[in-house]
């Protein structure tokens, strides 16, 4: 199948089922907020490195977590009970994405979060679409976190980082529990990782992912605007 070339004009993406076997669907375009939101609504996300053009992906299978299927191990429950960390939302988005940028994935040279990508998601955050989770230690030092994009009851996780053991897991569990509370239907983890599998994420066929995505986009969440947390709900 051909890889579609996008122009600077904002047009619909090709259907996700036209992606290559590795998930690559299109190349080019830009990272304007309008195009990024259109991509997420179409089941597509950008992923490329500094010396590549912008690449757009729709992998099959897709790695997702249904909020009611999150797994919290006995050892993690003990960590949560100890209250070793303080967790906040949308308090330090730029610090979180910068920390993710400086924390490359294992077996990967450099980072896929280019300066262009970082700036694009900061713009999305300022518009109320991208959100961060911050994990702080007892000295109020940022030791973990993650960020992603939320549209109605669909959340797409983009990246996470950790500087101390269990910090990113605590942040992720905290996020999922609140997404459940707010009525979110689908968490898109995009690509398989053992880390997220241990927390309940699973691979599904792209056709099922698109069905669940479209349903989630039709259901407004109970949380809009800047995310804040009023109560402690972790057990």
Instruction: For 22-59, write each residue's pLDDT tens digit.
Output: 999 999 999 999 999 999 999 999 999 888 899 999 99
Residues 18 and 102 in one domain: no
Reported confidence tier of residue 12, pLDDT bands at 50, 70, 90: confident
Residues 184 and 91 in one domain: yes
pLDDT at site 107: 43
H helices present in the chain, as ranges: 33-41, 74-82, 93-101, 115-126, 167-181, 194-197, 206-217
Q: Is residue 224 one of the residues assigned to a domain? A: no
Residues 111 and 198 in one domain: yes
pLDDT at site 161: 95
Residues 143 and 211 in one domain: yes
pLDDT at site 132: 97
Residues 29 and 88 in one domain: no
Residues 19 and 72 in one domain: no
Q: What is the CATH number of the domain that holds 18?
A: 3.30.70.3550
pLDDT at site 176: 96
pLDDT at site 226: 80
Q: Is residue 227 one of the residues assigned to a domain? A: no
Q: Is residue 50 one of the residues assigned to a domain? A: yes
When divided into structural domains, the chain yields a total of 2
Look up the pTM and report it.
0.93
H helices present in 21-114, as ranges: 33-41, 74-82, 93-101
Residues 122 and 197 in one domain: yes
As a whole number, mean pLDDT of residues 75-90 equals 93
pLDDT at site 111: 57
Q: Is residue 230 one of the residues assigned to a domain? A: no
Residue 109 reports pLDDT greater than 50? no
Structural domain span for residue 133: 63-217
More confident residue, 125 or 195: 125
CA dihedral 159, 160, 161, 165 (to 10 degrees): -150
- pLDDT cut 90: percent of the chain above it: 81
Q: Which residues of 44-54 are buried (b: 16+ CB within 10 A; e: fewer)?
A: bbbbbeeeeeb
- pLDDT cut 70: percent of the chain above it: 93
Residues 48 and 79 in one domain: no
Reported confidence tier of residue 227, pLDDT bands at 50, 70, 90: confident
Residues 40 and 72 in one domain: no
Q: Is residue 33 one of the residues assigned to a domain? A: yes
Least confident piece of the model among 103-107, 156-160, 190-194, 207-211: 103-107
Question: Taking the mean position of all CA atoms in its chain, how far away is CA 186?
Answer: 11
Residues 174 and 91 in one domain: yes
Residues 17 and 118 in one domain: no
pLDDT tens per residue, range 146-179: 999 999 999 999 999 999 999 999 999 999 999 9
Q: Is residue 226 one of the residues assigned to a domain? A: no
Reported confidence tier of residue 87, pLDDT bands at 50, 70, 90: very high
């Amino acid at each position: 199948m051909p890889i579609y070339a996008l122009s600077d004009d904002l047009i619909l993406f090709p259907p996700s089922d036209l992606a290559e076997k590795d998930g690559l669907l299109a190349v080019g375009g830009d990272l304007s907020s309008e195009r990024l939101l259109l991509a997420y609504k179409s089941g597509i996300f950008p992923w490329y490195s500094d010396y590549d053009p912008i690449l757009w992906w729709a992998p099959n299978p897709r790695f997702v977590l249904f909020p009611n299927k999150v797994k919290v191990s006995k050892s993690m429950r003990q960590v949560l009970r100890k209250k070793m960390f303080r967790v906040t939302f949308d308090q330090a988005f730029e610090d979180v994405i910068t920390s993710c940028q400086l924390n490359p994935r294992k077996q990967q040279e450099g980072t896929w979060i280019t300066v262009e990508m970082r700036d694009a998601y900061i713009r999305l955050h300022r518009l109320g679409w991208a959100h961060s989770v911050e994990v702080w230690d007892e000295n109020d030092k940022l030791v973990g976190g993650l960020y992603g994009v939320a549209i109605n009851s669909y959340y797409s996780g983009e990246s996470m980082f950790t500087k101390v053991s269990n910090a990113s897991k605590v942040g992720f569990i905290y996020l999922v529990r609140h997404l459940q509370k707010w009525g979110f239907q689908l968490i898109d983890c995009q690509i398989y990782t053992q880390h997220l599998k241990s927390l309940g994420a699973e691979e599904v066929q792209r056709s099922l992912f698109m069905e669940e995505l479209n349903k989630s986009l039709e259901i407004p969440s109970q949380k809009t605007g800047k995310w804040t947390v009023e109560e402690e709900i972790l057990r």
